Amino acid sequence: QVQLVESGGGLVQAGGSLRLSCAASGRTFSTQVMGWWRQAPGKEREFVATIRWSGGSTYYADSVKGRFAISGDNAKNTVYLQMNSLKPEDTAVYYCGAGYYSGSLYRKPSDVAYWGQGTQVTVSS
Per-residue pLDDT of 67-106, as tens digits, reads 999 999 989 999 999 999 999 999 999 999 999 988 888 8
Q: Which residues contact 56 (CB under 8 A, 6 or more apart)?
A: 72
Per-residue pLDDT of 35-79, as tens digits, reads 999 999 999 999 999 999 999 999 999 999 999 999 999 899 999
Q: How confident is the model at residue 31 (pLDDT cuts 50, 70, 90)?
A: confident
Write the CA distances from 25 to 8, 45, 95, integer angstroms.
18, 23, 16
Write the CA distances from 37 to 15, 68, 125, integer angstroms.
20, 12, 22
Write the CA distances from 75 to 1, 21, 36, integer angstroms.
19, 14, 19
Q: Is the pLDDT of residue 27 over 90?
A: no
Q: How confident is the model at residue 28 (pLDDT cuts 50, 70, 90)?
A: confident
pLDDT at res. 41: 93
pLDDT at res. 98: 95
Distance CA 68, CA 37 (A): 12
